[in-house]
A = this chain, B = another copy of it.
Amino acid sequence: MPKPANFGKKTVEIVAPKDGEIQVKNEWMSVDPYMRGRMYDRESYVPPFQIGETMQGGAVGRVAASAHPDYKEGDLVSSMMGWRTAWVGKPEAAMVQKLPDVGLPESAFLGVAGMPGLTAYAGLLRVAELKEGDVVFVSGAAGAVGSTVVQIAKNKGCTVIGSAGGPDKCAFVKSLGADHVIDYKKAGGFAGLVKALKEASPKGIDVYFDNVGGDHLTAAIEVARPMARMALCGMIAQYNETGTPVGPHNIIMAVGKQLKLQGFIVSTHADMQPAFFADMAKWIPAGKMKFEQTVMEGIDKAPEAFMGLFTGANTGKMLVKLT
């Protein structure tokens, strides 16, 4: 568990942008659970954070000065240059994206209209090839990604079964429009999940969005209909495994039922962002995409906000407001 003493603050002079660079004043920054994973010195799909270097993370801000032909003062941009109040650099190196003026609150671009939202969108629509009328099962349905999955699937005309742990989270998932909610703590393991899924949808499921792995994945394979698609987004049930995890014993069903199980990472699907923004700009003002956020004020609160992720200090997306 990270401690306040693990964090430091440094003040540096902000310089004018050189040719091809922009200067950005951040307005919001994100803290996310995945950042804890980047504090391990191990091989992964993103390199670990380096001690003494500034933390990276999602941020939204406005261009304050530009020496880049594609950007002008006042442009709203997202970047991976979080944990800073301002920065100067080449937009390409900072993974900058210009954000559309579609009437969304700026902070939404770090949550429901940002990376967690795009994860849900790309996973459902591309990886799981969602079709109208599908029966969709999503685990971790009360989380940032899962709660967006529930609502996208409902907006696309699907039947949704969400699983979450405990009555409060289950009530939240129900409030998002899920047709059936399974409290996995009450269901009790593989057999209980299969029973609950069969009660919710006797004919089986067409899509499974996996945030959890373990028994949830095995149960999804068990009740999958022929040609079902499974988007594997995370397997939180296995993150803290110390022994050898147990794989899905019924994987052979994938042959006869012609199932597709596909893992994915959101950055691979960045090309879907324009369509994603357009849909979010329709859904959010229409009340068809609810989201919650917890806001802390000022860069000095960033470590507290981050550590609060692991003590349940947040409801919905945890954010730091920088201006």
Binary CB contact string for chain A from 255 to 270 against chain B (1 if under 8 A, 0 otherwise): 1111111111100100
CA A271 to CA B194, docked complex, whole Å: 35
Flag if A233 contacts B217 (CB, 8 Å).
no
| CB closest chain-B residue, reference A247 | B247
Flag if A256 contacts B213 (CB, 8 Å).
no
A235 at the interface (CB under 8 A from B): yes
- From residue A40, how far is it (CB to closest CB) to chain B in Å? 13
- From residue A47, how far is it (CB to closest CB) to chain B in Å? 13
A293 at the interface (CB under 8 A from B): no
Within the complex, which residue of B238, B246, B252 is in contact with A213, where a contact is CB–CB below 8 Å? B252
Within A230-260, the residues touching B (CB, 8 Å) are: 232-235, 238, 244-260
CA A260 to CA B265, docked complex, whole Å: 12
- From residue A214, how far is it (CB to closest CB) to chain B in Å? 9
A139 at the interface (CB under 8 A from B): no
Task: Point out which of A246, A255, A261 has the most chain B C-beta atoms below 10 A from its C-beta.
Answer: A255
A23 at the interface (CB under 8 A from B): no
A259-B262 in contact given A45-B226, A247-B246, A252-B245 (Cβ < 8 Å) = yes
Within the complex, which residue of B226, B251, B264 is in contact with A248, where a contact is CB–CB below 8 Å? B251
| CB closest chain-B residue, reference A250 | B247
Flag if A247 contacts B249 (CB, 8 Å).
yes
A218 at the interface (CB under 8 A from B): yes
CA A256 to CA B249, docked complex, whole Å: 21
Flag if B265 contacts A45 (CB, 8 Å).
no
Flag if A245 contacts B235 (CB, 8 Å).
no
16 other A-B residue contacts (CB within 8 Å) besides A244-B249, A254-B262: A45-B257, A213-B251, A218-B247, A232-B251, A232-B255, A235-B251, A245-B251, A247-B248, A255-B264, A256-B263, A258-B264, A258-B268, A259-B263, A260-B263, A261-B261, A262-B262
A–B Cβ pairs within 8 angstroms, 16 of them: A45-B226, A45-B257, A218-B247, A232-B251, A235-B251, A238-B252, A245-B251, A245-B252, A246-B249, A247-B251, A251-B251, A254-B263, A258-B263, A258-B265, A260-B262, A260-B263
